[in-house]
Copies of this chain bind each other. A is one copy, B any other.
């Protein structure tokens, strides 16, 4: 008995001397492209196998009212990395490869914020926040390392010029074999983790897919029951498993926060090549719930209780503020940052008071949610679906009616009015940082 106690004590002392004092937690963001709320086993998909994501959710927190900042690619990523509605910078929707615009140089990205806190930062995957000027690229926006496609994987010849696989600011290869991308990004992320040893690190891994065209890796082709779409999701699931397993096996799990989510809803106009938003209506490009309600899993063993289902309203903008608060960084005060700290119990309990604005394709507010109520001022579907004959605005109780089937506008004119007032004051707020607009925009 004596011997056992002694060796336990020794072990404790040893582990104390090896663990760096007050090591800041590592942060990894795994970001799918066009994956729907319903495209994961633990959200009910019947034929896509996602054992690693399911396990991640069961060991961590699963969100059920988690939104992307936008139903479209560029705007969504802008919100994730800045904590702000991109429209505050006159920014929105999707950039083309030849667009003269890019992320505003004054934005302080999550990577810049973490770098200033002593983090080593790396990004592997899709950027899509500007490419025509070097200052728009990841290395100039807080990332020490970058490798990936700088925009969507369908912006390729013959419609567009050759797509580069960038390494830092340089082109490594043109029109790379997309079947190798998921494995490549995963391997780069693992290499970076190995390199960082005792330094805190931030990795942002925005996968190229399941954005169409779908290119599953060789080992995954034809392996899922759900066709190419399922093959691609199952490869992403494998990638998540590789990263979590590495953290588990190397004693890093309890010092690494990993967040998985997607940039917007499924691209349903692509038919079988697009995904599923589960019980939600519509998909990518739409401000119906299917356009922005995302699978979201937060994994951090020892810090996040296993198996917790979180029904609070949250969004990718909150990742910025949550991580900033976590590492003790100051949030910029010369601009509006919309994200809240999701770990703050005060903010979490104010759930019912929180508003969330849904921006449509012309960068104006199409809908607003406050607590359980959602008001549509305008609606749009890429499929051309007209879901209601009722006149706008439409009002839904999302708690009772998550599928937005029963318009209650006539029954609750007072709620309609209240939500319209919120939209109006939010729109007035929108112009508070005029110098955040790019030159192109101001001319």
A residues lining the B interface (CB < 8 Å): 37-38, 41-47, 49, 51, 54-55, 58, 64-65, 225-227, 229-230, 271-272, 276-279, 293, 307, 309, 311, 372, 397-403, 405-406
Contact = CB atoms under 8 A, between A and B. Distances in A.
A184 to B, nearest CB: 27
B278 A41 contact: no
Contacts of A311: 46-47, 49, 225
Nearest to A408: B272
B225 A54 contact: no
A44 B38 contact: yes
A307 B402 contact: no
Given A400-B226, A400-B227, A400-B272, A278 B44 contact: yes
Contacts of A42: 42, 44
Given A226-B400, A271-B405, A372-B225, A44 B43 contact: yes
Contacts of A399: 47, 225-227
A405 B270 CA distance: 12
B402 A46 contact: yes
Contacts of A49: 309, 311
A278 B225 contact: no
A406 B54 CA distance: 28
B403 A276 contact: yes
Nearest to A276: B279
A41 B43 CA distance: 8
B38 A65 contact: no
A279 B226 CA distance: 14
Given A278-B278, A279-B276, A399-B225, A64 B37 contact: no
Contacts of A278: 38, 44, 278-279
A226 B309 CA distance: 15
A365 B49 CA distance: 31
Those 8 A-B pairs whose CB atoms lie nearest each other, nearest first: A43-B44, A46-B64, A44-B44, A225-B399, A227-B400, A47-B399, A38-B279, A44-B278
Contacts of A58: 58, 307
A51 to B, nearest CB: 8
Given A47-B65, A47-B400, A272-B400, 20 more contacts: A37-B44, A38-B44, A38-B279, A41-B64, A42-B42, A42-B44, A44-B44, A44-B278, A45-B402, A46-B65, A46-B311, A47-B64, A225-B372, A225-B399, A226-B400, A227-B400, A271-B405, A272-B406, A278-B279, A279-B279
